[in-house]
Every structure is written in structure tokens, then in C-alpha cells.
Structure 1
């Protein structure tokens, strides 16, 4: 944002959404096929280009139903599935399962930090990681998959370790690299430096997948775009492991407010939030900022598929009552009616007032003659 208005991005980012993969693997979250289809369809209507769904490590994937439901809703071309990478034979089994499910886009998750590589692969050797990535990517490209490869815990991976790994992946034929801020670690200005090292690689296409433990997921995602990243990964409501992910509603409204980006249809965001929160077993109080039922407005409520509501118990004012009665058939003395209504609420201990109940009460109001 500048004094002259929104700062236009030279190359606005493309958006992928990991709700049906990252969020779906949180403890207590249960998305069924119907939820998957509804979420995927609304994401695509919003303008999200790629819906990430499920995780496959070998035969008989537990996420098969989610993957197939998403394919049915938005086609395999608009979805992507994560394949776990541990060794060459395991990758081959995962690719077999991906082919069985009709997957077209895959994303390999390979730990790149010394800590995660040693823990999950039993080797922190950079040469081993590069060889593993080359083998996995080559196998997938030979079968015709579009391949994104990820640096799990990439944000904590030193430059001298990360850059050669990314270069090796692109040399093997990968289509895109995702930097995963698995452990929130970077400030926005540090993120710009890390991403700039990656976008400097010839032919690179870079995506940022940021977690929100420090509350910086959206800021770091926008910083990554400033440094040349072409993709941002988000989730509905920011629901996800390890403090959550970059929340989609905040991200898209930030792109509109800060950068004047009007490519996305934001009217689906509130419904998306409700479906995702239901699957996560959370109530509406956990909705993202732009879609919460109680918020000051950065953007009009209708723009994100929400609506203006009045909910009040004790702080009833004539201004609120006047707004509630706007365009109503009732013609009442607002000052007298407000005092009468406040007295009735206090006397009866009635629940929250909303617009409809205020209008109904106005029909019952009989002012005391002067």
C-alpha cells in the first residue's frame, strides 16, 4: 500500500490450497468425501488454481475416498496429491497408487534440514538428499506426472544446503519447488532473502508454504511473492498442523487491499470457512478475520459472502435501533422505543437481540400517551 493506493504486483501469485491435505491430517479433523467435494468446488470457484488433497505412501491409501471425491468435483487437473518419499522402492509403490487413483499432479515431501532428514531418512547427507530427489522426480516424470518437490523444513535449511538441493530437483525435470516453512523460523525480510536465492535459479518456479506459529504466515507469503515466488499455499481458516497455515481469507483479502488484486471471487469465503470449521469440530467463533460474524470491516461483509448483523443485549442505543428499523414498515418514536426495549430486556433477561427481533418488538410497542 502506498500513498497513491494499492501497490500493484508485477506478477500476482497463483494460489494452491492444502485444506484437504494439511488440515485433514490434524488430530480430530474429519473431512468426508462430501466435504471434500464441496470444499474443492468452492475453492475453484474462488479462483484457487490447485486443490491439494490427500497423502499417499503406498497401496490402499486411507485418503483414496477424499482424492476421488475431489477429482469428481474439480477434475484431476485441478488437484494435487502429496507422495511420501523414503526410498526408491517406496516411491515406486506410491506412484503406482497415485496412478490407480487417477492423480495427475503430485508433490513430493522430502526433509531438507539436518534435523528432519536425520529423523525421517536416517541420513543428513546433502548428497543423499539430492540423489533421493533426483530418483523420485525422474520416476514420476517418466510416468507423465506434473511434479512439485518440497523442501520440508526448508526455511531452517542453510543456503549452502538448500540451493544445491533445489538445483538438483529442477535438473531432474521437476516443474515446481515448494519451500515449506514447517517450523516457523523466518521474518518477512529473511523470507525475501531465502526466496530470492531460489528464484535466481534458472528455470525455477517457486511456491511458499508457510506455517503460522509466529503469526507471520500471510506476511511471509507476501514477502515471498515480492522476492519472485509464483505460488502461495494456504488453507481455509488457516486450519493446519503446527500453529496452522496461511489462512486463505486473510491472504486473498490482503492481496485485494494491499495490492489491488481483484482476480478472486471472495463471496465463497464465508461458506468455505463454515464447512471447514464443521469438519474440524470448531465453532463459528474460530472463523478467520474477514469471515467472522463479529468484525470491523476492512472490506464489505457481502464481498466475502457474509452479511451485516446486529446482536446486542445490554448496549442498546438509538443508533442501533434506527439501523435495525431502516426500511421497515414500522413508524415509531425511536428514542421512546429504545428505552422501552432496553427496559424489557433487563426485566425479562431475554437473549441477544438481532435485527429481526427488534422489528418484531416494534410491532408490539405501544408508546405511553404524554
Structure 2
């Protein structure tokens, strides 16, 4: 678990999520922010789409970012020519490797996998490009055939091989077994590309890294096809905190980056989203809030500052007096035991009626009303 390389594909696979369209300005802004944070490689889109997509990719290339920039291509010469026209020096070439994908894309003609890969890879190498080869639907491919394709790509001169769990059907143990076999037989680095159809994208990506893969595809907020991809923020923080692998990425801007992608995509996150969700550092339960007030580590795996977020103490149905008095004290309000119980009862009753926690303004309104009716000062 050393020398792990992040290759973020928010601008390609992330934008492929149904209903998502990034403007050229948004793609450029997202790329610039990730670059400034220290993300080392960005898969910036599909040049063969042409039009505004190609224009946005070209502009990103011309910005002279420190991050390495990669274009996604089918195993077709014209795709690679489109990448070159955008100024890209790195290309990813994708080929189907499962029976179901070969049948759908190549009418079941397995020989086309070899021919298309050879022709496109040789052409890319003749243009002095860095070439990554992706095995589409590797998780459902015959393992012997997958290995043959990987070794063939390596023999032709590919610099990296991408293992794709295209429809997210793996779990960590099987992922580790499949990737481990490739690691044993290949000299070039293996990259993980996982999908979240069963909620295991991040876990499977980590399992692949544990098995010897050294690169991983991610997307901000886990954005992507269907249920999405392995989330950039989850991978970075899991590596940092669970495996002590610090990628030298500015994690204090992860929340900011998440919010930028939310604005560009128009897709809000559930509040419980790991690492960057609104509720990740929010505490309402009396027991939890009391513990956090005594020592944040009792109910927080790391400080909110580490990802650019903040702790929130929320007053609602499950709150206790300790939390209530703490929140009120921040607004210069001091209540005795009896007074705080009166307010707490009102807070719980109102929270049940509204089916949510109270805002600070609503809490202060409750205190104000109780002060007038019960003589609280």
C-alpha cells in the first residue's frame, strides 16, 4: 500500500452519470481545483465526442496544469487522433473482455479484441503517447482470457492496465483474488476502476490496492454511471487514516471540492454521505453530543478540519440537557436545571411535530417564549 496513484475521472465517468452535463467553464474550474489540491492525474473526458467536449479538454490542456491529463478512447484510431488534436500526451484505450461485452460490441468476434487493441495501441505509441489499456467488464471476463489480454497489452508497450468492475458485481475478497493473479503475472502497474452498484466501490478499490494494484480511478462525491464510482474523498481519507498512506493531497479542501461538483452537477448529496456530507460531523443524540463535548474522538474518526468541514451540535428530539445548555451558552443564555428541562421538553415536542431538528433561530424562539410564560431569565 505504498506509492498509490490517484487518477480521477470525475470529468469523464462522473459526467457520464445520467442527467449530468458540465459546461466547459465548470470542467475547467473542477480540473483547476483538483490540480491545485494535488490530485496527480485527471481523466478529462472523451475527445472523440468533439464539439464543446473537445474544446473544454483543449483548454484544460493549455492551462499547463501540474496534473497529468488523460483522454478516454475506444480502440479506434480516430479516437486517438481526436485525443492528439486536443493536445493530450496520455491516452486510455478501452476494450471489452467479457463474453457479454464482446458480443454486444464486436458481434462475438474475439479476434477483433486482439486486432483493435494492437492497431490502436501501436498507433498511439508511434505518436509517443503514454498508453493505459482498460479491460471493460474485467470482473465478468474469463480469467485466462483477461490475463492474455493484459499480457498482450503489456507486450505491445502499454504502460498501465486498468481492471474494470464495470457493473459493480464484485466484493472485496473476490476482487483481491482476481487482481492478485494479474499482479503476479504483469510487470506494468494495475489500476482499479470500480462501480458502486452494491455499495462496494470504495471497498473493492481498496481490496485491489491491497492485492497489489497501485493506481485507482475515483470521482468526486462518487459521481458516475448508475450508482456511481469509488469516491475520491473516501479513497483519500481511507488510505490516509486506515492505511497510513498520505498522498500529499490537500484534504482540507475536500469539502470545498465536493460543493463545487454539487453546484456543477446539480446533484445534492444525502446528508450522511461519507467524509463530506452535511451530517458527518453533526451530533444530536444526547449521549453522542455529551461524549463529543468531552472528547471529540469519542464519536468522530478524525477532525472535521481535516476535510474542510466543521462540527455541528444539533438540537432536536434526541438531544439532552448537556447539549442544549452548551448550544444556548454560545448565545449568552444560562439556564438552571429546571429551566433547561422546560425548554428541552418544548424542543423535543416541537421537533416531533416538525419531524426534524430545530434551527438555532427556532431554539432561541422557544427559549424566548418560555421566558415570557415561565419567568425564565
Pairing partner for 2:119 from 135, 159, 170: 135
Unaligned 5+ residue runs, structure 2? 281-298
Unaligned 5+ residue runs, structure 1? 1-8, 86-90
**Deviation at residue 137 of structure 1 after TM alignment:** 0.9
1:315-330 to 2 correspondence within 5 Å? Answer: 315-326=318-329, 329-330=332-333
1:62-77 to 2 correspondence within 5 Å? Answer: 62-72=52-62, 75=65
**Cα gap change, 1:361 to 1:108, in 2 (>3 Å):** same
Aligned residues: CA RMSD: 3.0
1:1-370 to 2 correspondence within 5 Å? Answer: 9=1, 11-57=2-48, 60-72=50-62, 75=65, 78-85=68-75, 91-125=76-110, 127-263=111-247, 264-285=249-270, 288-295=273-280, 297-326=300-329, 329-333=332-336, 336-337=339-340, 339-340=342-343, 343=346, 352-355=357-360, 358=363, 368=375
Using CA pairs under 8 Å that are at least 6 residues apart, name the structure with larger relative contact order, 1 or 2.
Answer: 1
Q: How many residues are aligned here?
A: 354
**Deviation at residue 341 of structure 1 after TM alignment:** 6.8
With normalisation by structure 2, the TM-score equals 0.83
SS in 2 for 1:22: helix
SS in 1 for 2:46: strand
**Cα gap change, 1:287 to 1:111, in 2 (>3 Å):** farther
CA distance in 1, matches of 2:126, 2:338: 76
CA distance in 1, matches of 2:21, 2:300: 31
SS in 2 for 1:245: coil
Match of 2:292 in 1: none
CA distance in 2, matches of 1:192, 1:247: 19
**Runs in 1 of length 4+ with deviation above 6 angstroms?**
347-351, 359-364
Structure 1 residues 243-296: Cα deviation after superposition (integer angstroms, max 9, x where no partner):
211112222222122212233322222122222233333224266311111136
Select between 252-261 and 40-49 the one with higher mean Cα deviation: 40-49
With normalisation by structure 1, the TM-score equals 0.84
Structure 1 residues 53-84: Cα deviation after superposition (integer angstroms, max 9, x where no partner):
211336x3452243234335563852211012
**Cα gap change, 1:200 to 1:347, in 2 (>3 Å):** closer
Structure 1 residues 154-199: Cα deviation after superposition (integer angstroms, max 9, x where no partner):
1111121111111111111111110111022322222122212222
Residues 76 and 103 in structure 1, CA contact (< 8 A), matched pair in contact too: no
Structure 1 residues 93-123: Cα deviation after superposition (integer angstroms, max 9, x where no partner):
2222212211121111111112101211224
**Cα gap change, 1:344 to 1:158, in 2 (>3 Å):** closer
**Cα gap change, 1:188 to 1:344, in 2 (>3 Å):** closer
CA distance in 1, matches of 2:225, 2:276: 21
**Cα gap change, 1:48 to 1:228, in 2 (>3 Å):** same
